[in-house]
């Protein structure tokens, strides 16, 4: 029987993935790192693998992310120069669109203020603005970002989009390249980040970006934790340049209990739930790539490690 090794710091995820393999891909044994048979496994399925865990697998031929991104593999510096695949869930776009739509409405309609008022037992109706007067910017116009930008535009919002290369999205004013970033950001009421994490985009959510937004703007980060400078976020919230932030991704996951983000006023933490492949989808795609690896067939959803996605 073929086998894969599951590597993650998230013990609950490991348990859920083992159950998913047993349910949806019973032809594959899903092993944990401490299993003696793990040394013979040709594939490791990973989510924030512990440091040194990949190097400890001598038979490894393929590293498989259990998500759409691969940057979390950097948390194990021993990751060998092997092919890397990722999971692509057909339902990923729908889930992400719903999450971002909720976050935009949360700030547009003033629910953040209402929730604070409830604690104080204060009855004060927030000002209601037409969607067309609420300016939303989407950073990253790939298959997810483009769909989200268009969904928000169809909802009546004034939407801008920014990407590294030129994109066209119906009803969205699009900007491209570093030279257009400031113009894209200028005066936005809410910024959504869906960029891939690369050397160029790491730390992009920092002081220079926040300063270009409208005073009292909001941030929604569904990209990667490495995009955000936490010190700059804290300062922007304290000064009122930002009124709040919805954060779904973090440099370390699960987010440690002593991480200050948990208690920063104005920050909403969600546990990487904006959109994620189902456990059964992960098991099926990893099992198919294991079959292809062993048969010498082309792999599905092969990532470009030099680009980071």
- 251-308, pLDDT tens digit by residue? 998 899 999 999 999 999 999 999 888 999 999 999 999 999 999 999 999 998 877 7
Residue 304 placed within a domain: no
Looking at the fold, whether 188 and 256 belong to one and the same domain comes out as yes
Total domains present in the chain: 2
Task: Let me know whether 99 and 224 are in one domain.
Answer: yes
Q: Is residue 22 part of a domain?
A: yes
Catalytic residue among 224, 227, 243, 279: 224
pLDDT at 227 over 80: yes
Domain of 206, in residue numbers: 92-269
Supply the CATH number for residue 99's domain.
3.40.50.720
105 and 47 within one domain: no
Residues 108 and 142 in one domain: yes
pLDDT in tens, 152-180: 999 999 999 999 999 999 999 999 999 99
On whether residue 302 sits in a domain, the answer given is no
Does 109 reside within a domain? Answer: yes
Q: Is residue 139 one of the residues assigned to a domain? A: yes
- DSSP lists the bridge partners of residue 192 as 138, 220
CB 218 within 8 A of CB 107: yes
3-state helix, strand, coil in the chain (%, to 5): 35, 20, 45
Annotation marks residue 272 as catalytic = yes
Q: Is the peptide bond before 254 cis (omega within 30 degrees of 0)?
A: yes
In a domain, residue 190? The reply is: yes
Q: Are residues 35 and 105 in the same domain?
A: no
* Cα-only R_g, the chain: 21
pLDDT value of residue 102: 98
Please provide the average confidence, as pLDDT, over all residues in the chain: 95
Verify that 74 and 129 share a domain, yes or no: no
Instruction: For residue 92, indicate whether it is catalytic.
Output: no
Whether residue 222 sits in one domain with residue 282:
no
Which pLDDT band holds residue 91 (cuts at 50, 70, 90)? confident
Average pLDDT in the 65-79 region?
91
pLDDT confidence band for 116 (50 / 70 / 90): very high
**Do 229 and 83 share a structural domain?**
no
Q: What is the three-class DSSP state of 97?
A: helix
Same domain, 62 and 197: no
Helices (H), 61-191: 92-108, 111-120, 143-154, 181-185
């Amino acid at each position: 029987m073929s086998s894969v090794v599951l590597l993650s710091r998230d013990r609950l995820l490991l348990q859920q993935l083992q159950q998913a393999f047993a349910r949806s891909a019973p032809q594959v044994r899903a092993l944990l790192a401490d299993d003696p048979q793990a040394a013979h496994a040709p594939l490791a399925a990973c989510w924030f693998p512990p440091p040194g865990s990949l190097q400890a697998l001598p038979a490894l031929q393929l590293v498989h992310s259990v998500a759409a991104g691969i940057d979390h593999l950097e948390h194990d510096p021993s990751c060998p120069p092997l092919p890397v695949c990722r999971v692509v869930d057909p339902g990923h776009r729908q889930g992400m669109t719903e999450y971002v739509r909720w976050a935009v409405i949360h700030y547009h309609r003033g629910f953040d203020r209402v929730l604070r008022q409830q604690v104080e037992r204060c009855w004060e109706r927030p000002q209601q603005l037409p969607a067309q007067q609420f300016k939303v910017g989407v950073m990253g116009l790939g298959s997810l970002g483009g769909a989200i930008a268009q969904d928000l535009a169809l909802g009546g919002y004034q939407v801008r989009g920014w990407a590294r290369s030129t994109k066209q999205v119906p009803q969205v004013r699009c900007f491209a390249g570093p030279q257009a970033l400031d113009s894209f950001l200028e005066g936005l009421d809410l910024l959504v980040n869906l960029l891939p994490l690369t050397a160029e985009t790491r730390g992009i959510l920092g002081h220079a970006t926040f300063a270009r937004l409208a005073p009292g703007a909001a941030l929604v980060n569904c990209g990667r934790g490495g995009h955000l400078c936490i010190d700059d976020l804290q300062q922007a919230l304290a000064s009122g340049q930002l009124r709040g932030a919805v954060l779904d991704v973090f440099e370390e996951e699960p987010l440690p209990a002593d991480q200050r983000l948990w208690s920063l006023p104005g920050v909403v933490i969600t546990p990487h739930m904006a959109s994620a492949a189902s456990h059964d989808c992960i098991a099926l795609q990893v099992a198919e790539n294991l079959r292809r690896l062993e048969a010498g067939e082309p792999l599905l959803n092969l990532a470009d490690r030099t680009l980071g996605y």
